[in-house]
Amino acid sequence: DTLGEEEEQDRVPPQKLQLLGESAELRDLLRNPHLRQLLLALEQARDKSSLLRRLMQEPLFLEFADCCLGIVEPPEEKENVLP
């Protein structure tokens, strides 16, 4: 199957995914037992989208998400960034 344009935009190239594994900041965050429990709950959830909406209210999960996004899409690479 081919991906639609919107789905293709959401894909992260393997090279950028590898950067996640190389990030000391991300490793430090993942040492937090509470964050690990949140991620495990998300992995095991039947309704992932509903749980993800709730997790986006958790400051620790937001810190994790921001860290991941900052690695795979650094601010200078983002589109539509105002000068």
pTM (whole model) above 0.85: no
pLDDT-derived band at 1, boundaries 50, 70, 90:
very low
What would the pLDDT profile of 44-70 be if each residue is shown by its tens digit?
999 999 999 999 999 999 999 999 999
- Return the structure tokens found at 62: 């937001």
- Return the structure tokens found at 72: 């795979």
> For residue 77, which of 2, 15, 3, 6 has the smallest C-alpha distance?
15
- Identify the residue with better confidence: 7 or 55: 55
What residue type is assigned to position 34 of the chain?
H
The yes-or-no verdict on residue 76 having pLDDT over 90 is: no
